[in-house]
Each structure stands twice: as structure tokens, then as C-alpha cells.
Amino acid sequence: MPFTFKLSKRLALIKAASLLLPVAALVIASCDIRPRSSTGVDNPVAQIVVYPDTLTLDPQQSFQFRVFGRTQVGDSVPVSVRWETSAGTISAFGVYTADTSAADAVVTATFSSATVTGTSKVRKRRFVKLVINPKNTTLPSVGSSSSPRTHSGTLATA
């Protein structure tokens, strides 16, 4: 190929690229790429979100709760919280352990530098019923030589 053909081809490619450059700059300029504060200084934390918001646990079972803050403009930001619970125990890191009481618990995360809180409800699985099977059985009476008695199974609820 002659040199003039190669040169004209290269110049044509440069011209096409130079036409696309202003369009790309316009697209980038139209995007909202303002830096947002991850500390919540410019947009203070308006809400604390505890995940999950409802949970069911067995007695003595543990679970790691998650938490994040939400600013007034809707951004998610990391937050430092103080954990509390109405029943059971919770560590400073959000690890909850259910107790054996029958009461459900409320886990609360309070934002360290404000009065903003988030909560989660912990339902405890309870012993609902005990079924003895078989329902009827024949047992000899203790300490007697009389005929065996038939006893019915029982159903206990708590």
C-alpha cells in the first residue's frame, strides 16, 4: 500500500475520534459525580437499619446482626452503634444469644453520636406440644398382682 493511502486512513480515524471526544465529554459532564461523605458529616445519619428486622431463634441460639446508617439523601454509610436487648444477651459487636425465657426480645442499635436508633424483633421458638406414641399401652400395676391396667398417652402443652 502506498504511503499516502496509509496516511489518509490514519487521518480519517483521528478525525472520527475527534468527533466522538466532545460527545463523551458531554456525557461525563452530565453525570452527577460529586463526592459524597462516607462519614455522614455533610449528610447526617437520619436512620439506623438493623438487618434482619425480624428473626426467629431457638433458646441459646446465637445470631450476628448487621447494621448501617442511612443519610437524609438515602446513602448507606457505615456507623458505630451501641447494642442493647430486652431479653437474652448481645455483644458489643452485635452477636445476640437467645435466653430460655418465653418472652420475645427487641434488639436495639443506637447510633454512637446521636439519638438515632434501629430495632429488630427476635421471636423465640417455644415448646408447643409433646405427643406420646403409642396413645395406649398396657402396663402392669407396680406392687400388685392384679390385672394390668391400660393407660392413655398424654398431651402436654407449654
Question: Domain residue spans in the chain?
Answer: 45-124
Look over the chain and give the mean of its residue pLDDT values, rounded to a whole number.
78
CB 68 within 8 A of CB 53: no
Query: CA–CA separation, 158 vs 46, rounded Å?
Result: 42
Over residues 94-145, the pLDDT tens digits come to 999 999 888 899 999 999 877 889 999 999 887 666 677 776 766 666 666 5
In words, the CATH class of domain 45-124 is: mainly beta
CB 60 within 8 A of CB 28: no
**Which amino acid appears at position 107 of this protein?**
V
Over residues 50-105, the pLDDT tens digits come to 999 999 998 899 999 999 999 988 899 999 999 999 999 999 999 999 998 888 99
Residue among 92, 123, 93, 86 nearest 108 (CA): 86
